[in-house]
Structure 1
Amino acid sequence: MTLGSQIAWDDTVLPFQLDRSDIRGRVARLDGVLDRVLEQHDYPAPIESLVAEMALLTAMIGQTIKLRWKLSLQVRGDGPARLIATDYYAPPSEGEPAHVRAYASYDADRLHESAEPFGLIGKGYFAILIDQGEGTTPYQGITPIAGGSLSACAETYFAQSEQLPTRFALSYGRSSSPGTGETWRAGGVMLQVMPAASPFAGGGGSGEEGLMEPSDILEGDEEENWGRANMLLDTVEELELIGPSVQPTELLVRLFHEEGPRVFDPQPVAFGCSCSPEKVRQTLSIYSAKDIRHMTTDDGIVTADCQFCGAHYEFDPETLGFEATKDP
C-alpha cells in the first residue's frame, strides 16, 4: 500500500451496504481530525479517550442522516466527566468535507488518571440532537447511560428511540510511525439494519432497565441476517479498524465478502468550528447594559472563549446587549 493511498483514506467515512443481509454501514478513519480536536485542550488521558470515542461516533452517525445543518451528540453524567459534547456539520456542498468539533467538561478534583474512562461519567443520559437549520424544529432523543461504553450507549439509543438495531466496533488511541511523531488514530465499523426492515417494536425491552435490544425488534430472516453480520464483525482486529495498512474497502471484503458488500462515495471529514464574533454578539444580545457591565473586565472589555476551538474574542461592552449604544 502506498503512502498516497493511505492518506486518501484518512479522515473519511465510507458508506456501504450488505446486499444479502439488508444491512447498511459505515467505515470511518479519523486521524488529523482527532489531533485538531484534542490539541485545543490539555485533557487528562481518560477524558481524551472519551472525546475520541465520541468524535468517532459522531462522524459515523452524522453521515447516515440526510442532514442539512447539524447533528449533536451529548453525554451528561454525575461523575467527574460531566459533559462530552460533539457536533457534526453537514458539508456545505457536494465534494466538500463535513466538519466535526468536540468538547469535554470535567471535575479535575474528582478525576483519577488511571480510572476507566466510561466509569467517569456515572449516571446520566446520552442524547442525539438534529437541527436542520432555520425554519425547522430541532429533534432531540434521549436515553439513559447504559452498557460499558459510549458506543454501547449509541446502540441503545438507536434500538430504543429509532427501533433500528445498530452495532459499532471502534478502536482509537495514540500511535506513531517511523519518522513521525505520536498522533491520534481512530477507526470503526458501524452496522445498522435498513430502516424499512424494522417497523415494529412495542412494550418493554429485554435490555438493561427494560431498554430495547435487537432481539426485541427483529424476527425471522432479519434476525438471522443481523446475527450473522455481527458474528463476522466480531472477527475484526483493532489494527484493521484504525489502519493505515488496511484500506476500508479491503476491510469490508475481508469481513463481509459473502454478504455482497457495496460501497458508495466516501465523505471527507475535517475539524471545523462554527463560532464567530457575530454569533457571540447574538448570544449576548439578550443581556441588559447592567448585565454587560458585570461581564466587563478591569481593562474595559468583554471577553469570550469558544469551548470547542479555543478562539478568543474581545468586545467593546458598549456594542453588546439589547441596550447597546454603539454599532459593532
Structure 2
Amino acid sequence: MASEIQILDTAVGFAIPERHARGRIVRLGPALDAVLGAHGYPPVVEKLLAEAIVLAALLGSTLKHDEGQLTLQAQAEGGAIELMVADYRNGEVRGYIRHDPLRLAEIPADPSLFALFGRGYLAITFDQAVTGERYQGIVPLEGGSLAEAAETYFSQSEQLPSLVRLASRRLPDGRHVAGGLLVQHLPEGEEGRDRIHTRLDHPEWEHVHALAQTVTADELADPDLPIETILWRLFNEDEVRTYPGVSLARGCRCDPAHIRTVIARFPPDERAGMADEQGEIHVDCEFCAKRFSLALDSI
C-alpha cells in the first residue's frame, strides 16, 4: 500500500485485486471550508452540500482526462431544497444549494432525503472533454440519504454493485471536514463482460461489502486519521493497492473576462435590457456568491 497520502483535500483510488473490487476514498477540509464559507447556509444545508461535494469528488476523480467534468444535480418540488449542484473538474470542486428557508424551518433536525427534497431526481453527468462524449444517468431521489440515492444510480444506470458512504462534521473550531467511500465490484475485471451480468450475491462482493459497510462516519470525517489507516482497518485480510492521490481544491470558473465574453455575444438591444439605471450589468455567480458588475458601454 502506498504511503504518505495526504489526510485532507485528497481523493485516493484503490483496488482489491483478489476480490475483483475497486474503490475511492475522499477527504475534504480547507477546500470544503472555502466552498461553504462563501454562503451562510444553515447547518443541515451545509451538511447536505458537503456530502454532495464529496460524492462529486468520488465520481469525478475517476475521469481519465483532466479536462473532463462530473456534474451532480438534484432538483425537486415540494421540499425545503429546490436545487443542489456540485461538480468536479481537474481536482477542483464547487457547489451550491437553493433552498426555501420557511420550509427548512419546518423539517426535523436530522431529516430524511424526502423531507429535504420532496419528490425529485438526481442527475449525474459525465462530460468527457477529449472525446466529446457525454453520459447522463437520472434516478429518483429516494432512500434515506444522498449515499443511498447514489447507490441506486449505480444499480440502475451502471449495473455495478456499489457501496457509498458519506459523512461530514463541523469541528469545535468552526472548520468543516467531510469524507466519503465508494467501493464497487468488477467480477469480470475492467474489460470483462457486460456489467449487467454482475451479481449482488457474488461471494467476493458479499465479502468486500460486509467489510466496507463497517466504516463509520467518524472515521471518514476524522481530520487526523490517515486514509491508509481506514483502508487497513477495512481490508487488512486482503492485498490493497492504492494509486497516487488527486489533490482537491475549491475552484470556480467565473471571472470578469469570461463573463464579459459571454455577455458580448448578446445583441446590443438585449444587453441594454440587462443594464440597470446606472448603465451596469450585474451577474451573480451562485457557486462563489460573488457579483460581477460590468459597464454597458465597456462591452
TM-score by length of 2: 0.88
Give SS of 2:182's match: strand
Displacement of 1:30 after TM fit? Answer: 0.5
Displacement of 1:318 after TM fit? Answer: 3.7
Asked if 1:86 is matched to 2:86, the reply is yes
Could you tell me whether the CA contact under 8 Å between 2:107 and 2:116 is conserved in 1? no
Give SS of 2:271's match: helix
Structure 1 match to 2:263:
284
Aligned to 1:22, which of 20, 23, 27?
20
Structure 2 match to 1:40:
38
Give SS of 2:248's match: strand
User: What are the Cα deviations for residues 143-194 of structure 1, in whole angstroms up to 9, with x where unaligned?
Assistant: 1112111111111111111111211122211013xxxx22101112210123
Query: Partner letter of residue 75 of structure 1?
Result: A
Structure 2 match to 1:206:
none
Give me the whole-angstrom Cα distance separating, in 1, the residues matched to 2:296 and 2:271.
6
Give SS of 2:118's match: coil
Asked if 1:74 is matched to 2:73, the reply is yes
Give me the whole-angstrom Cα distance separating, in 2, the residues matched to 1:135 and 1:256.
36
Give me the whole-angstrom Cα distance separating, in 2, the residues matched to 1:200 and 1:290.
53
Structure 2 alignment gaps of length 5 or more: none
Give me the whole-angstrom Cα distance separating, in 1, the residues matched to 2:12 and 2:195.
29
User: What are the Cα deviations for residues 112-147 of structure 1, in whole angstroms up to 9, with x where unaligned?
Assistant: 275316221111111111223377243222111121
Give me the whole-angstrom Cα distance separating, in 2, the residues matched to 1:112 and 1:198.
49
Aligned CA distance change for structure 1 residues 198 and 38 (closer, same or farther; 3 Å) = farther
Provide the aligned C-alpha RMSD in A: 2.2
Give me the whole-angstrom Cα distance separating, in 1, the residues matched to 2:265 and 2:123.
27
The alignment covers a number of residue pairs equal to: 288
Structure 2 match to 1:231:
210
Aligned to 2:94, which of 97, 101, 111?
101
Displacement of 1:88 after TM fit? Answer: 0.3
Give SS of 2:149's match: helix
Could you tell me whether the CA contact under 8 Å between 1:171 and 1:238 is conserved in 2? yes
Displacement of 1:278 after TM fit? Answer: 3.3
Displacement of 1:198 after TM fit? Answer: 6.5
Aligned to 1:241, which of 213, 220, 225?
220
Aligned CA distance change for structure 1 residues 277 and 171 (closer, same or farther; 3 Å) = same
- Structure ID, larger Rg: 1
Normalized per residue, which structure has more strand?
A: 2
Asked if 1:310 is matched to 2:295, the reply is no
TM-score by length of 1: 0.81
Could you tell me whether the CA contact under 8 Å between 2:169 and 2:221 is conserved in 1? no
Structure 2 match to 1:208:
none
The equivalences for 1:59-208 within 5 A come to 59-67=57-65, 68-78=67-77, 79-90=79-90, 98-112=91-105, 115=108, 116=111, 118=113, 119-133=115-129, 136-176=132-172, 181-194=173-186, 195-196=190-191, 199-201=194-196
Give SS of 1:13's match: strand
Could you tell me whether the CA contact under 8 Å between 1:76 and 1:125 is conserved in 2? yes
Could you tell me whether the CA contact under 8 Å between 1:47 and 1:117 is conserved in 2? no
Aligned CA distance change for structure 1 residues 130 and 234 (closer, same or farther; 3 Å) = closer
Give me the whole-angstrom Cα distance separating, in 2, the residues matched to 1:171 and 1:314.
37
Give me the whole-angstrom Cα distance separating, in 2, the residues matched to 1:121 and 1:219.
29
Identity %: 34
Give me the whole-angstrom Cα distance separating, in 2, the residues matched to 1:285 and 1:197.
49
